[in-house]
Chains A and B, each alone.
Chain A
Amino acid sequence: MIGRRGFLLGSAAVAGGLAVGYRVLTAPLPNPVEPDEGEAALNPYVLVTREGVTVIAPRAEMGQGVQTTLAALVAEEMDLDWSEVRAVHGPASLAYANSRIIALGLPFADYRESWVQELAEGAMELGARLMAMQLTGGSTSTADAFERMRRAGAAARVMLVEAAARRWDLPAARLRTEAGAVLAPDGARLSYPDLAEAAAALEAPRDPPLKPRAAWRLLGRSLPRLDMADKVTGQAEFATDVRLDGALFATVRTNPHLGAPMLRFDAAEAERMPDVVRVLDIGNGIAVVARTTWAAMQAAERVEVDWADAPYPSDTDAIFAGIAAAFDAPTQMALRDDGDVDAALADPRALRAEYRAPYLAHTTMEPMTASALYSDSRLILWAGTQSPTRTRESAAEVAGLAPEAVEIVTTYLGGGFGRRAEFDFTDQAARIAVAMPGTPIKMTWRREEDVRHDWYRPGAIARLVGLPGPRGPEALKADIAAPSIAATQIVRQAGMAPPGPDKFLVEGCFDQPYAIPAFRVQGHVANVAVPIGFWRSVGHSHNTFFTECFLDELAHAGGQDPVAMRLGLMRDEHAASARVLRTVAEMSGWGTPLPDGVARGVAFCFSYGSPTAQVVQVRQTDRGLRVERIWCAIDVGIALDPRNIEAQIQSGIIYGLSATIMGQITFAGGRVEQSNFHDCEVLRMDQCPAIETRILESGESPGGVGEPGTPPVAPALANAVFALTGRRIRQLPLVRELAFA
């Protein structure tokens, strides 16, 4: 069987195995799957074991159900029985690079598909491959795999059928496949495991035909998730759940002035504590190795440390002053500049507003963790990572090893949301393991470390000017200032920034399907060194709040209904977007009278290929505002697994709602002020509204679903608050100004 063992031991037994690089990449790459004896890897995604087929689903399972959907792509084409399908993440490999991810950084509006964009995407696809990014993020996994993994399944099926045809001496065209076996016209049956070795010796077909959509049996259906049983019995393995004999436990404590080094430390007291084994210098802080995680955590607190100062202003106000200063610096090229904005906005009726969004932590349910073992000049890292290839490269550097001497075992992730695209925590585990040769290490961050050492969603400020008109806004100018994710996260990840202006800075604004006659959007890169990174839906997470709230202001100023006004702007620009907005209006009964003390707000966002509209209903209660109901309509192009998509939409909404109401990271003395769930609160069961989702399908390929649920909820809620109270709140989180029940 494949399994983690197969990779760990680096089994060299290629029993009838054949390295077939899949040709979707421009040239074949070696097959990273190393079959054990009696197994055969028909391509990088299909391993036939003695028991059946194991699909390599090389994207991080962080809750989004991706392994189930990716496995279904292969299982569909191979005619596997769903109950027999197994999926594993597989090794870190260039063969699994995500060809879609880099396109996200390109400065084009996704809904306007044009040849220029396609050309650039092609160039970037090559770039992505050269950079070897096996990355789970940007809601790209399914879109990236849709063609590739179905072709892999289809190719494997062709090879298995051909092997059976030769065995029976019958033409392949007379054979069919069903439930993991090839069937002859007379009913004779050869199972895939029986054929695997012979199939592996055949040449992989170049262009295996795909099933038409009408013939799908698995895709388009709600399938039971492959990880569900393990997750309800406590058997699912996260990074520190791996069984490792003789393991010791570790935690770290690093400089709370983020990005700055440690000056000196004294561990004498910590080292005398019971169960403590060692205290290590890890550069920007210390690590404690102990006999229990708790002992390590207790001791970490007792180390005396002098920290160097933070490389950014020391408190929130000064940090935001730094962000605001970017408005005075030279601007980036405008990514949208339609009509004569300056002339239109010279009108004295123009509205002006400034909006702000705070820094945000990810607070994945599982704090950062990793296990590691260094022995015989090899390092094995067990980690929940969204970025295994980059993680390996960096851990190798830390350990002074060649990347080939480092194996990454990607376990389940206890939440990702972008946080686990980073490799700070895996580098630490590598460092600790190297200092403890032969001893497996299980490292767990304290929650306080996790909240205070994140790569935060950046704070951002928008200055908006708009001219309301009788048929909708006549002009809109948006200036957005924030630190640049392209210049930091992407450079960390890929070694270079995407070409052109930073799209993340203005996405969710410039790229929305609104035909406003005069429309300009400009980004201003702020130079503030607080660590930042991808946070579920990235730039959309704040820009949708700014844009959709301000559009609401313009609707009210122009005396229009917010839904009707948006429909007017998008009808001719993008039909699918208009359809989701109409759908959510219909679902929620938009426009029907509401009882006193109840109000609704609407918002829309086109992100990751999936236009999404939401209506939020709030009620005034004695204990504060209650978010009662949320309606969401999303067009996902093709819905591969409707029940899982619904879960993702709920997830995205609740994650966004939590941030909208109560999420913020603030600074004092160069440190993050929040530390754990008592002061870094997140939404709980009793505040969770009823959510109704409708999934539309108007496309040829699947759009993203992991992130699009998040952006509209903040503005839809703030717009509902305005409808209820007449107060326009322009700064998040809302709890700064309102009580919520």
Chain B
Amino acid sequence: MKIVVNGTEHQVEVDPQTPLLWVLRDVLGLTGTKFGCGIAACGACTVHLDGEAVPACGVAVGEVTGEVTTIEGLGNGVLTPLQEVWIGEQVAQCGYCQPGQIMAASALLRRTPDPTDDDIDEAMSGNLCRCGTYPRIRAAIHAAAARLRDA
């Protein structure tokens, strides 16, 4: 099986039923994508599939046809403006949910460059944070949108 992750093609030999999440983590060593529930209910494993945010625990690797982007590939080795804002707002606490949050937020901003609070609620409510970083996630998304506007 071939999959393209962060612009690189990989040949992987696993059961095609294996969720993309575990291929990323266990086979390719891309551990930035996290496991939280395995039932598409927490968002910790959010990656981009052709630019759309999807839970990698809910996609069998055998069915992946598009390009996968993970947190490691988001900025091609440099911080994206969104990540810079995330640092500026000091969003992360334990950090475990954060790669998923950032992948979800970046897909949101691509679709909706200036989201309202309702847009944020809708796009981000699939991503749990047990540390309660929600207020700062919201602030960071608004700040990133403001930067986009000014850019």
Contacts and interface: CB of A to CB of B under 8 A. Distances in A.
A736 interface: no
B15 A274 contact: yes
A429 to B, nearest CB: 16
Interface in A12-65: 61-65
Contacts of A365: 34, 36, 42, 44, 94, 96-97, 128-131
B35 to A, nearest CB: 6
B87 A647 contact: no
B145 interface: no
B58 interface: no
Contact of A367 (B25, B35, B71, B93): B35
A655 B94 CA distance: 14
Contacts of B95: 63, 227, 230-231, 236, 412, 414
A444 interface: yes
A225 interface: yes
Given A292-B14, A293-B22, A294-B19, A415 B37 contact: no
B136 to A, nearest CB: 7
A688 B135 contact: yes
A677 B41 contact: yes
Contacts of A238: 31, 34, 96
A229 B38 contact: no
B39 A415 contact: no
B109 to A, nearest CB: 15
Contact residues of B: prevailing secondary structure: loop
Interface in A180-215: none
Interface in B99-151: 99, 102, 120-122, 124-138
A392 interface: no
Question: Which of A230, A234, A367, A647 counts the most chain B CB atoms within 10 A?
Answer: A234
A233 B71 contact: yes
B27 interface: yes
A243 interface: yes
B144 to A, nearest CB: 12
B29 A415 contact: no
A644 B92 CA distance: 10
B32 A233 contact: yes
A685 B15 contact: no
A101 B102 CA distance: 36
Nearest to A412: B95
Contacts of B102: 232
Interface string A433-444: 000000000101
A655 B130 contact: yes
Nearest to A689: B135
A677 B22 contact: no
B132 A650 contact: yes
A235 B75 CA distance: 13
Nearest to B126: A684
A643 B33 CA distance: 27
A232 B86 contact: yes
Contacts of B36: 365-367, 447, 677
Given A275-B15, A293-B26, A412 B94 contact: yes
Interface string A621-664: 00000000000000000000001100100111111000000000
Interface string A445-465: 011000000000000000000
Contacts of A685: 120-121, 124-125, 127, 129, 134, 137-138
Given A232-B98, A365-B36, A690 B135 contact: yes
A252 to B, nearest CB: 15
Given A677-B39, A685-B138, A231 B122 contact: no
Query: What's the interface size class on B, roughly?
Result: 35 or more
Contacts of B34: 238, 365-366, 414
Interface in B18-71: 18-19, 21-23, 25-27, 29-39, 41-42, 44, 70-71
A415 B122 contact: no
Contacts, number: 181
Given A234-B31, A415-B131, A655-B130, A292 B92 contact: no
B35 A415 contact: no
Contacts of A644: 90
Contacts of A367: 35-36
Given A234-B31, A677-B41, A415 B127 contact: no
B60 to A, nearest CB: 10
Contacts of B19: 294
Contacts of A643: 90
B134 A688 contact: yes
A686 B41 contact: no
B3 interface: no
Given A228-B90, A414-B94, A415-B96, A294 B132 contact: no
Contacts of A547: none
A413 B135 CA distance: 21
A363 interface: yes
Contacts of A691: 135
Given A234-B71, A274-B15, A413-B94, A294 B32 contact: no
Nearest to A363: B130
A686 B71 contact: no
Given A233-B71, A365-B44, A654-B132, A447 B90 contact: no
A417 B134 CA distance: 17
B79 interface: yes
Given A232-B98, A241-B31, A677-B39, A655 B91 contact: no
A229 B136 CA distance: 16
A456 to B, nearest CB: 16
Nearest to B31: A241
Contacts of A292: 14-15, 18, 22-23, 26-27
B66 to A, nearest CB: 20
Interface string A237-273: 1101101000001000000000000000000000000
A122 interface: no
Contacts of B22: 292-294
A232 B92 contact: yes
Nearest to B131: A63
A654 B134 contact: yes
B32 A234 contact: yes
30 contacts: A65-B93, A224-B90, A225-B90, A229-B79, A230-B95, A233-B32, A234-B32, A238-B31, A241-B31, A243-B29, A275-B15, A292-B22, A292-B26, A292-B27, A293-B25, A294-B18, A364-B94, A365-B96, A365-B128, A367-B35, A447-B36, A447-B39, A651-B133, A653-B132, A677-B41, A684-B125, A684-B126, A685-B121, A686-B125, A688-B132
Interface of B: 14-15, 18-19, 21-23, 25-27, 29-39, 41-42, 44, 70-72, 79, 83, 86-87, 90-99, 102, 120-122, 124-138
Q: Enumerate the 10 nearest inter-chain pairs by beta-carbon distance, A residue then B residue, closest first.
A: A234-B32, A654-B132, A63-B94, A414-B96, A231-B95, A63-B93, A234-B71, A686-B121, A241-B31, A231-B92
Interface of A: 61-65, 222, 224-225, 227-238, 240-241, 243, 249, 274-275, 291-295, 297, 363-367, 412-417, 442, 444, 446-447, 643-644, 647, 650-655, 676-678, 682-686, 688, 690-691
Given A293-B35, A676-B38, 11 more contacts: A232-B79, A275-B14, A294-B18, A297-B38, A365-B131, A415-B131, A651-B132, A652-B132, A655-B132, A685-B127, A686-B125
